[in-house]
């Protein structure tokens, strides 16, 4: 198996056991549920400047993705990710897909290519953010493609973890899974505490620079 493919079995102990050494050494604690979401400022694939403060007062979903990860591909092949993006948009939720591959890594895509790739797979985020330096990903502690964060309207992290309970790169299994992000958003929209605010992220290690 490619060294960048792994399941993150435990948020703390599993991180040390499974992440490539270069990534592990440079990863901060990251965003934590119940605390303020780390600020960010970078350009999207269309060249527009985006920062977290642009979305003050709105619920924001952050989806880390990759152009080469089969776990991420399965989410789109199954149609689940596009459906969730559309569902979220219809409820006024901001969805930001983030590509944190470093320019030195094989799955890095320049802005125009990234936009074409996301369009081809049917992605419909509010914006596609290009985080080639990895600064945003490291600030959040994003470890894998499909590592997800939900930021509440008050700026606090309400959910952090995997997209669903499938831990799979098979579209059929993804389609039958329980989607943690949708469940968290439904709780928030109903005014309930998020029942499951944190889960284990899984998938392919993000291609940060050394």
Number of structural domains found in the chain: 1
Query: CA 117 to CA 180: how far, in whole Å?
Result: 25
pTM of the model: 0.88
CB 175, CB 141: distance < 8 Å: no
DSSP secondary structure letter of residue 176: T
Find the CATH number of the domain harbouring 117: 3.40.30.10
Query: CA 159 to CA 174: how far, in whole Å?
Result: 19
- pLDDT tens for 95-106 read 999 999 999 999
210 inside domain: no
Domain with 105 in it: 5-204
Dihedral sign (CA 26, 31, 35, 37): positive
Q: Where are the beta strands (DSSP E) in the chain?
A: 5-7, 41-43, 49-51, 60-65, 94-99, 127-130, 148-151, 157-161, 202-204
pLDDT in tens, the chain (210 residues): 443 555 544 333 333 333 332 333 334 468 999 999 999 999 999 999 999 999 999 999 999 999 999 999 999 999 999 999 999 999 999 999 999 999 999 999 999 999 999 999 999 999 999 999 999 999 999 999 999 999 999 999 999 999 999 999 999 999 999 999 999 999 999 999 999 999 999 999 999 997
According to DSSP, the residues that pair with 156 across neighbouring strands are 36
175 inside domain: yes
- pLDDT tens for 138-158 read 999 999 999 999 999 999 999
209 inside domain: no
């Amino acid at each position: 198996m490619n060294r960048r493919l792994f399941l993150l079995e435990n948020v703390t102990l599993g991180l040390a056991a499974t992440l490539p050494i270069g990534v592990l050494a440079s990863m901060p604690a990251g965003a934590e549920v119940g605390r303020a979401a780390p600020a960010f400022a970078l350009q999207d694939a269309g060249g527009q400047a985006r920062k977290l403060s642009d979305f003050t007062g709105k619920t924001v979903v952050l989806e880390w993705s990759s152009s080469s990860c089969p776990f991420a591909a399965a989410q789109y092949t199954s149609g689940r990710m596009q459906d969730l993006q559309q569902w979220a948009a219809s409820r006024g939720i901001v969805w930001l897909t983030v590509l944190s591959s470093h320019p030195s890594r094989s799955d890095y895509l320049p802005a125009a290519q990234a936009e074409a790739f996301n369009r081809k797979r049917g992605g419909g985020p509010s914006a596609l953010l290009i985080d080639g330096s990895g600064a945003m990903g490291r600030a959040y502690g994003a470890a894998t493609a499909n590592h997800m964060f939900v930021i509440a309207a008050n700026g606090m992290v309400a959910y952090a973890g995997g997209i669903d309970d499938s831990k799979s790169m098979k579209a059929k299994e993804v389609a039958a899974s329980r989607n943690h992000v949708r469940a968290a958003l439904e709780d928030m929209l109903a005014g309930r505490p998020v029942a499951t605010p944190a889960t284990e992220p899984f998938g392919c290690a993000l291609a940060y620079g050394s």
